[in-house]
Amino acid sequence: MKKLIFACLISVGSIPAVAQTYHPKVSKDSLNILTNRVEVLKMNIKVLELKIKEAGEEADVEKLRLKLLEANGNAKVSSENHSGNINKSGLIVDQKAAEKLAKKAKSDTEDAKKALERYNKQVAKVEDIRTQIQGEERKLSYKKPQVVYDYK
């Protein structure tokens, strides 16, 4: 009887020691694979953020394109009005009106040039973002982790 009680006490006393030992469920190789997977997810997030930024910049390009078309239309109308003020013989009918029309045509032409510069800068921004996206996607293509869980 004493032996049975003693065996029970020993077995009950050893349960906490067994319960506190740690047995990893994931091997070190799997941990490296999981770490690489997290890096790939971060790279995917970066690519998606760049694509969102590209979409916003493209919306700005479209707005600037419309402004450019409007500025070009204004410049064309102003130059036609200026050239229409001169009669067919090459004489200017009204000197003040001609100067006013020439000044307006010149300012509209300058506005059209500025609109074109802004448009080209915005297109360059979009192209730069696209280049960044291609670079990140290329980096991402080199990392293709295989997730293997090695449970014991």
pLDDT given for residue 18 in this prediction: 53
pLDDT given for residue 151 in this prediction: 54
Residue 129, pLDDT above cutoff 90: yes
Q: Is the pTM of this model over 0.75?
A: no
Q: What is the DSSP string of the chain?
A: -HHHHHHHHHHHHHHHHHHT----SS-HHHHHHHHHHHHHHHHHHHHHHHHHHHHHHHHHHHHHHHHHHHHHHHHHHHHHHHHHHB-TTS-BS-HHHHHHHHHHHHHHHHHHHHHHHHHHHHHHHHHHHHHHHHHHHHHHHH----------
Burial pattern 7-16, b for ≥16 Cβ within 10 A else e, equals: eeeeeeeeee
Q: What is the average pLDDT score of the chain?
A: 79
In the structure encoding, which two tokens stand for residue 28, read together?
Answer: 């070190």
pLDDT band at 141 (very low <50, low <70, confident <90, very high): confident
pLDDT given for residue 24 in this prediction: 65
Query: What is the C-alpha to C-alpha distance for residues 123 and 62, in angstroms, rounded to an integer?
Result: 10
pLDDT tens for residues 11-38? 666 565 555 666 666 666 677 778 888 8
pLDDT band at 89 (very low <50, low <70, confident <90, very high): very low
The torsion angles phi and psi of 75, rounded to 5 degrees, stand at -65, -40
In the structure encoding, which two tokens stand for residue 58, read together?
Answer: 């493209």
pLDDT tens for residues 27-86? 666 777 788 888 889 999 999 999 999 999 999 999 999 999 999 898 888 878 777 766
